[in-house]
Amino acid sequence: MSIPTNPKIEQKQTQVVWKRSRKAKNIELNDEMVKVYVWELPVRIFHWINAFSIIVLMITGVFIGRPFVSASIQEEAYYSFLMGWARYIHFFVAFLFTINLAVRWYWVYKGNEHATSNPFRFSFWKEAFETIKYYLFMKNNKKHYIGHNPLAQLSYWIFIGLGSIIMMFTGYYLLFEPQPESIYGKMFMWVAHLFGGDSYSVRSWHHLVAWGFIIFTVVHVYMAFREDYLQRNGTMSSIFTGYKIERKKEALGEHDEK
């Protein structure tokens, strides 16, 4: 005898497991326009801590690699601790960067529809291609995106996703390589095998990928201003307030698709 089941309950459970991404909140302004809460607070906090970290890490990082100023007191070593402080700030901010990114990863699952991205869809790549055509001033079928367009999402996967992972692993390897026997040392010693085996190769990766972040930053800031200039939808203020002003049709229409 089989246990009788209620098909309705089963369906409900399935829905819980395969939870759809949470929709962004809307505030109606008038018949045509609507305020969309695109970037929730954790996303905005992440964004600014991340931006701050990247800038500080880059300045201190370049200094560590190529010290562009010397200590002002040209005397015995114990009067100054310039490189020591640069390294200390670099390491401290590196931990901040890591924790910040971990929280953001949590928010990928917890956040609204604009906090996540799924590159494992054909439409993602098709629409990314349309977006490339759009940026090259070619004829295209690019939609209007309230969150990030697929090309932007792709750039975050590459730089903020993969780039950060490379920087974190190579960075922690370099930090802990003097103590290979410590817990942290053991946690990161395998990294060397992935990046060429010796300390110099790991370091080279760390130096080269760092510049990728600056190139990303330049393009990212430009694209954000450009979007604001063309769409007039408050892109630039949205990263402070979280809200974008969108047409009701588009804001709600996009929801219906999903």
Partner 1 sequence: MKRKTILEEVLDRGFTRRDFLKMCTALAATMGLDFSQTDQVVAAMEKNQRVPVIWLQFQDCTGCSESFIRSTHPKVESVLLNMISLEYSEALSAASGHQIEAALEHVLEHYPGEYILAVEGSLPTDDAFLTVGGVSAKETFLRAAKGAKAIIAYGSCSSWGGIPAAYPNPTKAKPITHFVKDKPVILVPGCPPIAEVMTGVIAHIITFGKLPELDHLGRPKAFYRHRIHDKCNRRAYFDAGLFAESFDDEGARQGYCLYKVGCKGPTTYNSCAEMRWNGGVSYPIQSGNPCIGCSEKGFWDNGPFFVRRAKIPASQTTINPETVGAIAVGVTAAGVAAHAMVTAMKKKDEHHD
Tell me which residues touch partner 1 (CB under 8 A).
62, 65-67, 69-71, 74, 77-84, 86-87, 135, 137, 177-178, 180, 189, 192-193, 195-201, 203-205, 207-208, 210-211, 214-215, 218-219, 222, 226, 229-230
Task: Please give the Cα distance from 43 to 99 (Å, whole number).
Answer: 14
Q: How far is CA 118 from CA 115, 125, 129, in A?
A: 11, 10, 15
- Residue 28's H or E segment, with its range, is strand 25-28
Nearest CA to 58 among 169, 210, 160?
210
Q: Cβ of residue 138: shortest distance to partner 1, in angstroms?
A: 12
Q: For partner 1, which is the closer residue by CB, 80 or 116? A: 80
Q: For partner 1, which is the closer residue by CB, 205 or 243? A: 205
**In sequence order, what are the beta bridge partners of 145?**
none
Q: For partner 1, which is the closer residue by CB, 25 or 186? A: 186
- Residue 70 phi, psi dihedral angles, 5° rounding: -105, 165
Contact yes or no for 124/2 (Cβ under 8 A): no
Residue type, 251: A
Q: Cβ of residue 176: shortest distance to partner 1, in angstroms?
A: 12
Q: Cβ of residue 182: shortest distance to partner 1, in angstroms?
A: 12
Q: How far is CA 155 from CA 139, 172, 243, 246, in A?
A: 22, 24, 22, 24
Q: For partner 1, which is the closer residue by CB, 41 or 218? A: 218
Q: Cβ of residue 71: shortest distance to partner 1, in angstroms?
A: 4
Q: Cβ of residue 55: shortest distance to partner 1, in angstroms?
A: 13
Q: Cβ of residue 148: shortest distance to partner 1, in angstroms?
A: 18
Q: For partner 1, which is the closer residue by CB, 122 or 137? A: 137
- Residue 6 phi, psi dihedral angles, 5° rounding: -100, 110
Task: Output DSSP code: residue 113.
Answer: G
Task: Please give the Cα distance from 73 to 111 (Å, whole number).
Answer: 51
Q: For partner 1, which is the closer residue by CB, 55 or 82? A: 82
Listed in sequence order, the residues at least 6 apart from 122 whose beta carbon sits closer than 8 Å to its beta carbon are: none
Q: For partner 1, which is the closer residue by CB, 161 or 212? A: 212
Task: Output DSSP code: residue 79.
Answer: G
Q: Cβ of residue 211: shortest distance to partner 1, in angstroms?
A: 3
